[in-house]
Amino acid sequence: MKPPLSVIPADLVAACDYARHASEHLDAASWAYLAGGAADEITLAANAAAWHEIALWPRALADVRGGHTRVTLFGDTLAHPVILAPVATQKLFHPDGEGASVLAAGVLQGAAVVSTQASIALETLAASAQGPLWFQLYWQGSRDTTLALVKRAEAAGYRALILTVDAPVSGARNREQRAGFAVPAHAVQANVGAPVLPTIRDGRSAVFDGFMAVAPRWDDLAWLVVNTRLPLAVKGVLHPDDARRALQAGVAGIVVSNHGGRVLDGAPATATALPGVAAAVAGAVPVLVDGGIRRGTDIVKARALGASAVLVGRPYVHALATAGALGVAHLIRLLREELEIAMALTGCATLDAIDAGALFRV
């Protein structure tokens, strides 16, 4: 296992190159945890494949002088629409963990989402941030415990809450199980302890009477919206009807996500689900998307399908493992440059100019 790099090598020119390098900087168990998906990894593979299957339609002789990639989300104007997704226990991948990722996002004038399960305290990360941070929230089993965590995020200066709703029960992650993975002591969660589940009596189900008994429901979402002063988005929405119900609950945003293919194997790819959710939302709130996004061209496709911005997960963790904050910043810059090139070649000077006309359809 190689130590992190301090200089970016010349052959690192795309996100896929960081994936190749990262495997050399992580032990086998950590790599399996990062790379793996649920069960047979059908959804994991589908996420990337769905973006590949969408074609862009180049436009000639377009005047895109003065173009830019700026986007405004939850009250902050960002230089680009590449958001760092919440990823747990990042000290597993680099000694600086989430601190390096947050630093890189801020320096590149973007935003990062800090996981409930971060290996650095949410207050510590906020105190050193160079740009806006959003806090990803896992429901903590009760309203009181959840609200206490929310109030910590508010007090620390986070700009938005991202409630993850797609993982009350996790699918089997076969790759990490086969590698014998366990989070080491130096990378454990700093913000919360292990969840407390109900006692399962004989004949009861660990799923229905355990995990799901303390999972949030629609009335909890509506309650949370009115009990935080931060804009709240829900992450993990794939069905248009769920998007409509979330709007009725008063959310400020929706993230189309299948948890990177790590929860329900066989769920649709996010690129496939995005148009239906965007149509259901009809511009009422921002729609963001993650899952399989690896190039600037994917970001153009996401905008054309109705997304305001994208979140990337594994790619920036690959960069983190390879070269710490320097790697993450370089990865963000690569994606932004690829986005600018793709926008110019499809005749779009701004993100708002990207619509369904940028996609080639037979």
In sequence order, what DSSP letters do the residues of 123-179 get, joined into one string? HHHHHH-SS-EEEEE---SSHHHHHHHHHHHHHHT--EEEEE-S-SSPPP-HHHHHT
More confident residue, 115 or 210: 115
Average confidence (pLDDT) over 12-28: 95
In this structure, is residue 2 part of a structural domain? no
Rg from Cα positions in the chain: 20
Which residues, including other chains, have CB under 8 Å from residue 57's CB and lie 6 or more apart?
346, 357, 358, 359, 360
Distance of CA 235 to the CA centre of its chain: 9
More confident residue, 213 or 320: 320
In this structure, is residue 304 part of a structural domain? yes
Handedness of CA 243, 122, 73, 14 (dihedral sign): negative
CA distances from 181 to 20, 23, 32 (A): 21, 15, 8
The residue range of the domain holding 343 is 15-57+65-194+204-360
In this structure, is residue 170 part of a structural domain? yes
Which SS3 state, helix, strand or coil, does residue 66 take?
coil
In this structure, is residue 4 part of a structural domain? no
In this structure, is residue 208 part of a structural domain? yes
Quick one: residue 39, left, alpha or beta (phi over 0 = left, psi -120 to 50 = alpha)? left
Which is nearest to 74 in space by CA: 121, 135, 126, 120?
Answer: 135
Tokens of 339: 């986005």
In this structure, is residue 49 part of a structural domain? yes
CA distances from 263 to 90, 111, 123 (A): 19, 25, 29
Asked if the model's pLDDT at residue 172 lies above 60, the reply is: no
Confidence of residue 362 (pLDDT cuts 50, 70, 90): low
Separation between Cα atoms, residue 261 and residue 245, nearest integer Å: 23
CA distances from 328 to 5, 88, 169 (A): 12, 16, 30
In this structure, is residue 8 part of a structural domain? no
Tokens of 264: 């329900």
Average confidence (pLDDT) over 84-90: 97
Split into its structural domains, the chain has a count of 1
The residue to which tokens 């390098």 are assigned:
21
CATH of the domain at 356: 3.20.20.70
Asked if the model's pLDDT at residue 170 lies above 90, the reply is: no
Query: What is the percent of the chain with per-residue pLDDT over 70, rounded to a whole number?
Result: 96
**Active-site amino acid positions:** 259
Look at strands 253-256 and 232-237 and give their pairing: parallel
